[in-house]
C-alpha cells in the first residue's frame, strides 16, 4: 500500500467553509482545570486568572478536577452553564485534558479555549496558542473563535492523534516512568527507547479506504490530526491536514533494530525517507482484523489509553470545533 494507492479524491480534499466567530465582550469563561498538574501550578493559574480577567471586568468560574474520572462530567456541566450564559468553555491541562473538555464542547455551539499545561502541548502549539500563562489568558480577551478539525475513532474524539499497537504501549510505559521520575520530555524519550528495545508483536490489519481493501503487517497504526507533530517527524502528508484530511502512518513489520532505526528517523524529522513506512492521507478508513471477528484492541487517543472493539472507523468529524486562537499570521509565528 502506497500513498498513491490511498491518495485523497478531489471530493475528500475539499475543505469545509466555516467563518470565524467574534466573542461577545462580556462573555463569561467557564474554566475546567486538571488538578493533576500540581497545586503550585493551579494556584499560579488561579492567581493569574483573577488578576487579568478581574482587571478586564470579565466574569469567570473555575472548575478544579481532582479525580480524572470526574473530568467528563465536570466538562459537560461547564458546557451547560456556558450555553445558558452565552459563555466560553476553557480547558486547562495537557492534550488529554483538552481533548476530554473539547469532547463535551463539540456540537454544543459554545466556543472553546485552552490554557496549555502539558508536557508537549501539541494541540495548542499547532494553533498558535502561547504556552506562557499570561499570554494565553490575554488571548481569551482578544481572540476570535476559529474552526478547527477534530478526528474520531468510533465514538471517541481526538484532537492530536489516535493509534493502536505499539504506540499505546509506549504511552503506558511513559506514564509509569513519569510517576517514578517526574514529567519531562527527556523522561518521555527515555521511556520510549526502553520500550522499543523490548520484544513486541505485529498486527495484521485490513484497511478499507475509498472502496479498496489492503492488508498490512505493522507494529502500530498511528493516525495524526496535528500538522506540527507530523512535520516534526518529517511526514509529507502534514500539509494535507489543512485540506480536511487525516494522516495515517504504519511501519511495516520489521525487527527491533529496524524499528529503532525508523524511530530515529522520526526523531530527526526524516520519517518519510524510511523504506519500511506506509503513509497516506484520508477522510475515512475502516480497520478490521483479517479474521473478521470482533476483537478487543487497545487504543490511544491524545495520550489516553482505552479498549475498543473492532472494526475501527477513523474519520473527520462532520463539524468543526470553534477554538479561540490567534489570527493565521500570529498563529504561524507561535508554532515551534
pLDDT of the chain, 336 residues: tens digit per residue: 443 344 444 344 333 458 999 999 999 999 999 987 666 788 888 999 999 999 999 999 999 999 989 999 999 999 999 999 999 999 999 999 999 999 999 999 999 999 999 888 999 999 999 999 999 999 999 999 999 999 999 999 999 999 998 766 766 555 664 556 555 556 555 455 555 555 667 789 999 998 899 999 988 899 999 999 999 988 999 999 999 999 999 888 655 545 555 555 455 555 565 567 889 999 999 999 887 667 899 999 998 999 999 999 999 999 999 999 999 755 565 665
Q: What is the pLDDT of residue 286?
A: 97
Q: How far apart are CA 23 and CA 287, in angstroms?
A: 40
Q: What is the pLDDT of residue 49?
A: 95
Q: Are strands 161-165 and 156-158 parallel, antiparallel or unpaired?
A: unpaired
Please give the distance of CA 318 from its chain centroid, rounded to a whole number. Answer: 17
3-state secondary structure of 24: coil
Q: What is the pLDDT of residue 176?
A: 62
Q: What is the pLDDT of residue 302?
A: 95
Answer whether 186's CB lies under 8 Å from 178's CB. Answer: no
Answer whether 8's CB lies under 8 Å from 40's CB. Answer: no
Enter the C-alpha cell of residue 118.
Answer: 502539558
Q: How far apart are CA 331 and CA 110, in angstroms?
A: 21
The answer, yes or no, to whether the previous bond of 311 is cis (omega within 30 of 0) is: yes
Q: What is the pLDDT of residue 327?
A: 93
DSSP 231-291: HHHT-TTGGGGGGT-EEEEEEBS--HHHHHHHHHHHHTT-GGG-TTEEEEEESEEEEE-TT
Please give the distance of CA 277 from its chain centroid, rounded to a whole number. Answer: 22
DSSP 77-146: HHHHHHHHHT-EEEEEESHHHHHHHHHHHTTSS--EEEEE-SSS-HHHHHTT--SSHHHHHHHHTT-EEE
Q: What is the pLDDT of residue 118?
A: 84
Q: What is the pLDDT of residue 12?
A: 41
pTM across the whole model: 0.83
Identify the structural domains of the chain with CATH numbers, from first to last. 29-150+320-334 (3.40.50.10330), 155-316 (2.60.200.40)
Measured from the Cβ of residue 4, the count of other Cβ atoms closer than 10 Å reads 7
What count of Cα atoms within 13 Å lies in the side-chain half-sphere of residue 128?
Answer: 19
Q: What is the pLDDT of residue 7?
A: 42
Q: Are strands 296-301 and 304-309 parallel, antiparallel or unpaired?
A: antiparallel
Amino acid at each position: 500500500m502506497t500513498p498513491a494507492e490511498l491518495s485523497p479524491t478531489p471530493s475528500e480534499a475539499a475543505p469545509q467553509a466555516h467563518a470565524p466567530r467574534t466573542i461577545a465582550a462580556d462573555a463569561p469563561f467557564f474554566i475546567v482545570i486538571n488538578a493533576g498538574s500540581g497545586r503550585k501550578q493551579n494556584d499560579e493559574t488561579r492567581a493569574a486568572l483573577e488578576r487579568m480577567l478581574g482587571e478586564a471586568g470579565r466574569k469567570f468560574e473555575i472548575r478544579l478536577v481532582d479525580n480524572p474520572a470526574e473530568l467528563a462530567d465536570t466538562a459537560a456541566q461547564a458546557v451547560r452553564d456556558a450555553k445558558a450564559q452565552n459563555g466560553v468553555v476553557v480547558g486547562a491541562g495537557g492534550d488529554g485534558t483538552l481533548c476530554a473538555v473539547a469532547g463535551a464542547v463539540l456540537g454544543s455551539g459554545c466556543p472553546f479555549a485552552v490554557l496549555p499545561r502539558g508536557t508537549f502541548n501539541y494541540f495548542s502549539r499547532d494553533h498558535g496558542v502561547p504556552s506562557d500563562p499570561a499570554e494565553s489568558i490575554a488571548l481569551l480577551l482578544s481572540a476570535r473563535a476559529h474552526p478547527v478539525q477534530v478526528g474520531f475513532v468510533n465514538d471517541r474524539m481526538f484532537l492530536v492523534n489516535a493509534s493502536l499497537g505499539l504506540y499505546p504501549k509506549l504511552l503506558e510505559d511513559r506514564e509509569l516512568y513519569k510517576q517514578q521520575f517526574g514529567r519531562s520530555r527527556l523522561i518521555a524519550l527515555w521511556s520510549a527507547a526502553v520500550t522499543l528495545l523490548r520484544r513486541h508483536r505485529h498486527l495484521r490489519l485490513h484497511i478499507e479506504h475509498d472502496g479498496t481493501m489492503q492488508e498490512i503487517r505493522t507494529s502500530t497504526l498511528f493516525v495524526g490530526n496535528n500538522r506540527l507533530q507530523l512535520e516534526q517527524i518529517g511526514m509529507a502528508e502534514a500539509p494535507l491536514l489543512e485540506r480536511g484530511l487525516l494522516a495515517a502512518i504504519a511501519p511495516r513489520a520489521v525487527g527491533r533494530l529496524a524499528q529503532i532505526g525508523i524511530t530515529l528517523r522520526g526523531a530527526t524529522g526524516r520519517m518519510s525517507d524510511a523504506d519500511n513506512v506506509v503513509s497516506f492521507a484520508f477522510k475515512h478508513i475502516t480497520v478490521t482484523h483479517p479474521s473478521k471477528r470482533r476483537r478487543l484492541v487497545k487504543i490511544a487517543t491524545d495520550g489516553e489509553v482505552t479498549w475498543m472493539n473492532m472494526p475501527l472507523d477513523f474519520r473527520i468529524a462532520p463539524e468543526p470545533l470553534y477554538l479561540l486562537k490567534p489570527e493565521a499570521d500570529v498563529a504561524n509565528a507561535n508554532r515551534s
